[in-house]
Structure 1
Amino acid sequence: MNIKTKSFVSWEFLYIIGIIAISFSSIFIRWSTAEVSVVGMYRLYMTNLLMLAAAWKYRKEILSLKPKQWLGLLLSGAMLGLHFLLWMSSLRLTTVASSTVILTLEPILVVFGSFFLFGAKINRFMMAGMGLALIGSIAIGSGDFKLSGTALQGDILSLLGTVAVAAHMLMGKRLLGGMSAFVYNFWVFFIAATMLAGYNLLRGYPFTGYVPEEWGIYLLLALIPTLFGHYLFNWLMKFISASAVSMAVLGEPVVASLLAWLLLKESLTGLQLLAGAAILAGVWIFIRYGKEAPDTAGTEPPSLKESA
């Protein structure tokens, strides 16, 4: 995927697009009846197919990757595959709001990881924004948390998946300092998909025989939450901090819960709507006062004009 942005398209606009895109992931997964590992595998393999048209342009860079970079790609891809397997499985056991709200722990993990790995700084305004967003996220999912049965299992899977995606993002921030976003995304998606394919083989899950509607869901997952979500955020990490990018996950419960209310008929209270406003305000504060402090040596242009 070769994204080019006009001078009037700011990174903030792309950031919002990414939040909306990833929020559709939980809805599409709920619509599917296939095993979640099969859904994740085809989601990522289809993304690779969509990216193949531009792969020839990056052939020299791909051939010149160093062994250390390949090792980093393998680890990052494995963490992404593990995240998809665990988090997508959680959506079969608990509500969309409950599962996505646990993902809001991701920025905390990334902030601490960025501090120790990259020496990233965080000011009191960023802390206040994160705190406000976290409080709102807890309010959104508070009515859905349970301490027994399948809901608890789903929440635990979501938590483990959150740890995996935080590790994936921190590895990605380091790798993206020395390679294009296209090459990074292409190989990380392929590695994660292949990991899921191996898991499906071990479990004996079928690779074929799915109805056309299922294949349509796989394609939607590849197009919307993967290309316009994960790919876009990985690209943005070349310009802004991993901590700022990870804050996008705090907007996901808001949009995902609204979508679940509209499309899945899940309940949504006035408190949750108020909490959603608090989350968006907190994310804005964090980004507004944190964007000038990238956590690596890169710089953030006022408007993104470079291709991915």
Structure 2
Amino acid sequence: MFSQPSSRRDFLLVVCASISWGTVGIANQAMYTYGATNALSLTFLRLAIAAPLFLLVGWIRLGRRLFHIKSRDLCVMMLMGSLIALSQACYIAAIASAGVGVSTLIAICAAPVIIAVCSTLITRERLTLMTLIALVAALSGTILLIGTRSLAGKEAVSLAGIGLAFLSACGYAGFILCGRLLTNKYHPVQISAVAFGTGALMLFVCASATDLVLVYPAWGWLILLYLGSIPTALGYGLFQMGIRSLSATVASIVTMCEPLTAALLAWLLFREELGSLGLLGAGCLLGAMALILLVPTKSFTKEG
């Protein structure tokens, strides 16, 4: 088991965040049935709904201390917002060029590898054997799970699309690394309020330059409210709290619960077949999570 109760708690927080992110695809699929919308508009509205929620919770919890942020750290938080906006925008653009399957594989699988390399070279976080085994198991499981479901169809793939998907992974990796630097200095809602406010502003500019859709039926706004409050505000809030005692690499591995949740929901709600390889991939992902949960924390950190 975890050697410290806080580490186990933080692991579970990141798992809960990842599970909430796994519901985004189902909710977006419901929104697309409406027809007159697009991915960039949906992403902007998610962040636009989440940002004031972070401000409200931050004011209730912290009062005036919510705005007590050093100038240098404020820049890092704004950078986080820019990175999450870049990640979302590049992912959306990658889908048009490389297809959903390839884009998702690259965006999800490349991020933990980038984080592991950067953590090793920049922050001198040692990549232990247990971390490496968990990373390989999670990557293998994700490839099997997504690959068997998404890559069976014939999707047009371009070098530009692959590059955009990789940029999306880089943006997400940068978001996690920057958040890890600030998590012990500020309350999670302080970080998230600035980051998501900045990201929403950037996405508003991007969406306005294309085709920003703001008119939806009542049920559509209910889904948007869910997307903005649960997988975005609550999900990223839990994630920011969870990375307090987890390394950036381990946290990125745990976030791979997201494709597992999405696959299980697709199986339960839409009867999508997982197949033998998909089930094997799910087993690999669960094995990686069990390894992180059951093996002592020191085996995953530089002290181990």
TM-score, normalised by the number of residues in structure 2: 0.83
What's the secondary structure of 1:234's corresponding residue?
A: helix
Distance 2:70 2:43 in 1: 28
Query: How is 1:1-308 mapped onto 2 (pairs within 5 angstroms)?
Result: 10-33=9-32, 34-56=37-59, 57-88=61-92, 90=94, 98-102=102-106, 103-143=108-148, 144-145=150-151, 149-150=155-156, 157-203=164-210, 205-264=211-270, 266-286=272-292, 288-289=294-295, 291-292=297-298
What's the secondary structure of 1:292's corresponding residue?
A: helix
**Which residue identity is paired with 1:42?**
L
Give the stretch that moved more between structures: 249-258 or 59-68: 59-68
The CA deviation string for residues 268-307 of structure 1, in whole angstroms up to 9 with x for no partner, is 212201211111102332454473378799xxxxxxxxxx
**Which residue identity is paired with 1:221?**
L
Distance 1:265 1:210 in 2: 28
Give the stretch that moved more between structures: 247-256 or 59-68: 59-68
Count residues in correspondence. 290
What's the secondary structure of 1:32's corresponding residue?
A: helix
1:127·1:286 contact (CA, 8 Å) conserved in 2?
no
1:96·1:256 contact (CA, 8 Å) conserved in 2?
no
Q: CA deviation at 1:123?
A: 1.4
1:97·1:257 contact (CA, 8 Å) conserved in 2?
no
Distance 1:121 1:287 in 2: 19
Change in CA separation of 1:61 and 1:119 when aligned onto 2, cut-off 3 Å: farther
Distance 1:269 1:28 in 2: 24
**Which residue identity is paired with 1:292?**
K
What's the secondary structure of 2:69's corresponding residue?
A: coil
Q: Structure 1 unaligned runs (5+)?
A: 1-5, 298-308
Q: CA deviation at 1:19?
A: 2.2
Q: Structure 2 unaligned runs (5+)?
A: none
What's the secondary structure of 1:119's corresponding residue?
A: coil
Identity of aligned residues (%): 22
Q: CA deviation at 1:96?
A: 6.2
Distance 2:49 2:193 in 1: 11
1:120·1:293 contact (CA, 8 Å) conserved in 2?
no
Change in CA separation of 1:271 and 1:127 when aligned onto 2, cut-off 3 Å: same
Q: CA deviation at 1:229?
A: 2.1
Q: CA deviation at 1:217?
A: 2.1
**Which residue identity is paired with 1:16?**
V
RMSD: 3.0
